[in-house]
Each structure stands twice: as C-alpha cells, then as structure tokens.
Structure 1
Amino acid sequence: MSTSGIAVVTGAGRGLGQATARALAEREYRVVVAARSLEAAQPVVDAIVANAGEALPLALDVADPASIDAARDELLAGISEAWPDAKIEVLVNNAGIGLFAPLEGITADDVDRTFAVNVRGPLLLIQALVPHMPPGARIVNLSSSLSRHVSPATAVYAASKAAIEALSRSLASELGPRGIRINTIAPGPTATDFNGGAMRDNAEMRHGLGQQTALGRVGEPDEIAHAVAAFVSSDLRWVTGERLEVSGGVLL
C-alpha cells in the first residue's frame, strides 16, 4: 500500500512518461497515469498495480483546454473516491510533440500544434491543478537539451522547449510563496518511441549521437525517469526554478 501522496504524470502511456510513472510508483507514490485515451493509460496502470503499486488512468489531451478542465474534474472525483486521504503532491508535465522541418518546410500549423502541446498545455494544467496542491508540492516540466545546443530542422521544437524553461522560472517565483517548487528536466537523445523511435531503433543514429556524448551513448528512459524522481524528492527540497540537463554530456 502506498504511503506517499499522488503524482500526476502526463503523456504517461509510453516512453519517458511511462518510465516516470513506474519510477514514482516504485517510490510509493499513488500515480495518476494521464494519456490521450484511457486505453493508452490502462496498460501502465496494470503494470504498476501488478508490482504492488497504486495507480489510476486519466484521459487527457493537453492540447485541448476543454480536455484539461474535464480531466481536472475527473481527477478530483477519482482521487476523492480512491485515495481520499492523499493530496496531489507531484505534477510531471511530460506530454510533448516534436514536429521537425527546415525553415522552408515549417508551417503555421506546425508552430501552433507544437506550442499548444509543449507550452500552453503545461501552463493550463498547472493553472488547473495548483489550487489543489498543498504547500511542499513539486512540479517538473520536461524540456530538451536542444534548448542549449543547436541542430538543423529543430527550430520550432527547440523554441517551445526554451519557452517551457522560461515559463518554469517565472512560475517558480510566483508559486514559491505557496511553498510549491517547480523545476525543469532537459533530456538529451534518449531511446524512446519519440520521433518515430529513431533514437531507439536506428543503430546508425544511436552510434552517431553516442559519439557526440561524453558518456558515449544515448540515454535510456529509466535514466530520465530516475532524474525526475530525484528532483521531486525531499533531498532537493531547496531547489526551485532550475534546469537539470540529463543528457550524458551531449555536445558539451
């Protein structure tokens, strides 16, 4: 039986979100597995429960403000019934989208979709949940190492991640008086299904990126998840408004 509070993880049906949900469950958080559909969330919930954890699925499309409002109401009702003694102590804004194109290939829709998911979604979800989070709660937003170094055809994605970092710093100041801290994790190249699973499945790409990384390889999802878990631990209770790059030292 979990003894800690509730952790909400977005984009938790796969990749980094799934790994983060499971890592937090292993640390005895009651995890809300938020994904675009209940069907996507349920296998992760089942895996957590099979490992003696506690979890609930939540349908959430962060690109849709109406979905955020509906998910908040569903979340509060669900935890009131399942875990009435627990509070929302952790929010991990992991859900993201990457639309990559060179300058001449960028469309207005690419920009709008990227910022709707990567920036507006986390902002509106924080706005929706903060009133229900106690002093001492923690928020982690997912950025990217691409907010620090450059790569062709990544301008829109990188700009959205720079924006989420600026948003996090500003909100850290605003939420500090409430005792809520907010930080950013910036993963480097990681072997997930993001961008079609290229960094997971393309051996040539993995090798090339590994040669550009101080530790000689791309990252694994659990390595990012464990960094998130560390950021929300009490050991880092005096850290807020910070960006931690978890990239193995890519392009130093």
Structure 2
Amino acid sequence: MRTVLVTGCGSGFGLLTALTLARRGDRVIATVRDPHAEGAQRLRRTAADEGLPLQVTRLDVTEPGVTEALEGTRAIDALVNNAGYILRGPVVTLSDDELRAQFETNVLGPVRLIRALAPHMTPGGVIVNVSSIAGSVGVPFEGAYSASKAALESLSAALRFELRPYGLRVVLVAPGNYSTSIRGRSRQAAAFTRDHRDHEAYERFWAAFDGSLAGRGDPQEVADAIAGAIDDPEAVYRRLVGTDAQFIYRLWHDNSQEDFERLVTDALGLGR
C-alpha cells in the first residue's frame, strides 16, 4: 500500500485523484484549504461509505508554516501537487499583488511541499506536478497562469536531475481544458472590468476556444493519468492529457511562434 499526499482535493482533478487512488488501495492524505467546504465533506462521506483509506487534512500551500503542518505525514511514497487556480486578465492589467498571489499558489506552493517531503521519501518515490497545456503555450488573457505553469515545468525539469540520484522521479501531467470547477473558480484581475478595451476580445477568444476541441473530455482521464504516472517507473516526463492538449502542443512544437499564432487565430476564426 502506497501513501500518497494530494493537494487541492476540494474539487476537480484533486478530488477525483484522491478517490481514484484510495479506491485502488492507496492510503491517501487528501489536503484541502477549507475542511468544512462541500468538496471536503463529500470526500469524507465517500470514504466512510466505501471504507476507503482516505483522510482529509487541512493544508493551505500558501502558508509559510506548511512544513510544520506536515509533521507526522512526511513518510510518503508519492506527492501530487495539484492545488492551483487561474488568474485571468491581460498582462498589463495585473497588479503586483495579483501576480504574487498567482505564483504563491501555483509555484511556491509545490516547492514548499517538495522541500518538506522529498528528503524523507524513499527510493522509488514519485512527485507528480499537475501543470497545463498553458505551461507550454502562452494563453491569451491567462498570462499569469501560463507563466506560473511554465515556471513549474522548468522547476520540475531541474528537479528530475537533482532528485534522480536519490531514486525519486518527477513527472508532469499537463491537461487541456476540461469541464472542472477550476474555470468557474478562476479569479479576474480587478482592473479587467467589462468596460476594458480588451474585454470583447477576451470574450470572443474564449467563446471560440470553448466551441472547438476544448472541454469535451472526462476529467477522470486526468486522475487516471496521475495514477498511471505514479505506477509506471518508465513514465514519460510530460503526460499531455486531452485531445486539445495533444493537438495544441503538436501545433506549437512543429511551428514557429509566428506561424502558431496565425494558425490558432485562423482556427478560432479570430482573424475575421
């Protein structure tokens, strides 16, 4: 039985991942910011009803005392850094505080967990960092989120070199656009009001994107990919999940930035 700590289990990929791992027999420490929220209560009810080896623990990855909060739970076999959120708005509208908060959760949060737990993991342990296709491709009006995921990916690449001598693996799971609550819980820059000159372009972009390949997959695919990354000692570094993520990554990888921008603009009908 593995012991796995998963962050951001109050909803979406984190909740599904915690249940998926527990149902197959892993001992799961499912962390949430608010232990009284509906998602946390759902996890507790399901664990009790099904007799799952799952405990719900309060953990805010942005708190400086996160290391102390992990005392007694350091002997884990796998860590899934899933907690995160999306900050929306043109880059020029983002305040310093909004940018700091985005990186505090999406970048510093995972680093805090890795710093606290990796030295105590035994050979064969694995760290799964949940990124996004946005980590490779800069998404319009989500520049801060894209930058935070790109930073997480660069840190993950460095960690693979640094932790390999200790028998630890680092894997990225990069989903596309799934119908989870993360978009509903996205935060909008305070200065990006409806009368902002870019708001119409923002609405057109997301209407076109959501009407294309996006959001058609089952979020369970991401939970299964995370479980697979934990299981497979030969797992590839970047696991793209979702037809849109795979398509967009290939399009970006095989073209110059200029050509990629033209192709996306044409595909979404934004050039007309």
TM-score, normalisation: structure 1: 0.83
1:8-23 map, 5 Å: 8-23=5-20
Which of residues 76, 87, 90 in structure 2 aligns to 1:102? 90
**Structure 1 residue 243 corresponds to structure 2 residue 235:** no
Q: Is there any run of 5+ residues in structure 2 with no aligned partner, and where?
A: 187-203, 252-272
Q: Could you list the per-position Cα deviations for residues 180-216 of structure 1 after superposition, in whole angstroms to 9, with x for gaps in the alignment? A: 1011111110111112169xxxxx9998446533xx7
The equivalent of 1:117 in structure 2 is: 105
The equivalent of 2:255 in structure 1 is: none
1:40-189 map, 5 Å: 40=37, 41-66=40-65, 68-73=66-71, 75=73, 87-189=75-177
Contact 1:165 1:243 in 2 (8 A): no
Q: Could you list the per-position Cα deviations for residues 12-42 of structure 1 after superposition, in whole angstroms to 9, with x for gaps in the alignment? A: 1111100110111122101101011322434
User: Which letter does structure 2 place at the counterpart of 1:116?
Assistant: E
Contact 1:207 1:217 in 2 (8 A): no
CA distance in structure 2 between the partners assigned to 1:248 and 1:72 by the alignment: 36
Q: Structure 1 residue runs of 4+, over 4 Å off?
A: 204-208
User: Which letter does structure 2 place at the counterpart of 1:165?
Assistant: E
Which of residues 207, 229, 232 in structure 2 aligns to 1:231? 229
Q: Is there any run of 5+ residues in structure 1 with no aligned partner, and where?
A: 77-86, 199-203
Aligned-partner SS, 1:219: coil
User: Which letter does structure 1 place at the counterpart of 2:49?
Assistant: A
Contact 1:58 1:75 in 2 (8 A): no
Structure with bigger gyration radius: 2
Distance 1:23 1:208, change over 3 A: farther
Sequence identity (%):
36
After TM superposition, give the deviation of residue 245 of structure 1 in Å. Answer: 1.2
Q: Aligned residues, how many?
A: 228
CA distance in structure 2 between the partners assigned to 1:209 and 1:26 by the alignment: 34
TM-score, normalisation: structure 2: 0.77
Aligned-partner SS, 2:73: helix
User: Which letter does structure 1 place at the counterpart of 2:88?
Assistant: F
Give the alignment's Cα RMSD to 1 decimal: 2.2
